[in-house]
A and B are shown apart, each in its own frame.
Chain A
Amino acid sequence: QVQLVQSGADVKKPGASVKVSCKASGYTVTSHAMHWVRQAPGQRLEWMGWIIAGSGNRKYSRNFQGRVTITSDTSASTVYMELSSLRFEDTAVYYCARGWGSSEQNWFDPWGQGTLVTVSS
């Protein structure tokens, strides 16, 4: 079955960068967009961006422009999300999720299990 498995929790200092991985199985990672969504403690979901693995096509939310980079390694069926210049408010659970549907009409299914990133001095 389709599964997305993410890397483990991480703790970073303010100003540092974090890179979260998302390994896909059960389907070809190049066939669907992969999205990243985060959720700060007790807060709503926030979309960060997407990539079509292997194509170079990607798009980022304006809220993260310049700080987020989404990349892929198709040989490893893995997508990565790197967030730089971390702030305390970047403490959140980060999810990857496969996109379905046409452009600008995507919904997300399934989701990875989530990766908690804590920014602490």
Chain B
Amino acid sequence: QSVLTQPPSVSGAPGQRVTISCTGSSSNIGAGYDVHWYQQLPGTAPKVLIYGNTNRPSGVPDRFSGSKSGTSASLAITGLQAEDEAHYYCQSYDSSLSGYVFGTGTKVTVL
């Protein structure tokens, strides 16, 4: 079951801003559980981009930012670069499933 829903793909030209939505429900994001975001480059393990809704680990460029409101969250990438072409996943906790859940994933394409 897909508990957190993301758009399958987003695209933008270099330098543009793109956003990725993550839509949940009252048992996960809407219940106050934090949202975290990961970037997965082809053939590699995921890497955390945003944790605790809005926090960037050291080493992650400030072009990446996160936000959360109600039952949804968003990841914004400003100043899009070629190396940002990857899959992005949101993640949270779901109380009705009593476990962690991931989003459906979004492929970002740099035109």
**Residues of A at under 8 Å CB distance from B?**
35, 37, 44-47, 49, 59, 61-62, 95, 97, 100-101, 104-114
Contact = CB atoms under 8 A, between A and B. Distances in A.
Nearest to A108: B48
A101 B100 contact: no
B42 to A, nearest CB: 12
Interface string B37-55: 0100000011110011000
Most buried by A among B36, B48, B99, B103: B99
Nearest to A64: B99
B47 A111 contact: yes
A110 B91 CA distance: 15
Contact of B102 (A46, A101, A112): A46
Nearest to A100: B51
Given A35-B100, A47-B100, A104 B93 contact: yes
A107 B48 contact: yes
Interface residues of B, number: 25
A109 B102 contact: no
Contact of A107 (B2, B36, B103): B36
Interface string B98-111: 11111111000000
Contacts, number: 67
Does more than half of chain A's interface fall in helix, strand or loop, or is it mixed? Answer: strand
A48 to B, nearest CB: 9
Interface of B: 2, 33-34, 36, 38, 45-48, 51-52, 57, 89, 91, 93, 95, 97-105
A50 to B, nearest CB: 8
A45 B51 contact: no
A45 B2 CA distance: 11
Nearest to B50: A107
